[in-house]
Structure 1
């Protein structure tokens, strides 16, 4: 069943793949950040962003599963 929460979870998990596979968007040297070319710091930034998005997706999934279990438990009584 597709729910809005599951759509958000999917977007959180797919966004890093799209960002990294679209090489043309970051295959350049400028702007530099602390002397590091854009190509490198962009990828390193996505490591942190991907971690945050994966954590968000996991927390949303847990919350949905708890709500589903509570709804099924309440319906059984």
Structure 2
């Protein structure tokens, strides 16, 4: 019987920055610089959301179970 390789838990550390970054309010509580007319506050929040989506997808793909027949 072969032992299945367990995915590294280190992948889950990638989920820390998109969780912590929006909580650091003093970092982004300002209007300048603007990007395409959007104040910094808004485009920082949008960037955090996009970053979270990308990192969650990477962690999911790296840690999913790859057994044959498993979906």
TM-score (norm 1): 0.70
- In the other structure, the counterpart of 1:57 is 59
- Provide Cα deviations, 1:49-76, integer angstroms capped at 9, x if missing partner: 10000000101112xx43xx6xxxxxxx
Count of aligned residue pairs for this structure pair: 62
- Which ranges of structure 2 fall in alignment gaps of 5 or more residues? 1-5
**Equivalent of residue 48 in structure 2, options 30, 46, 52:** 46
RMSD, aligned CA = 1.9
The secondary structure found in structure 1 opposite 2:58 is helix
Q: Which has the higher helix share?
A: 1
- Provide Cα deviations, 1:7-42, integer angstroms capped at 9, x if missing partner: 1x2222221111011111111111100010000000
In the alignment, structure 1 residue 6 sits paired with structure 2 residue 9: yes
Equivalences for residues 62-77 of structure 1 within 5 A: 62=64, 65-66=65-66
- Which ranges of structure 1 fall in alignment gaps of 5 or more residues? 70-77
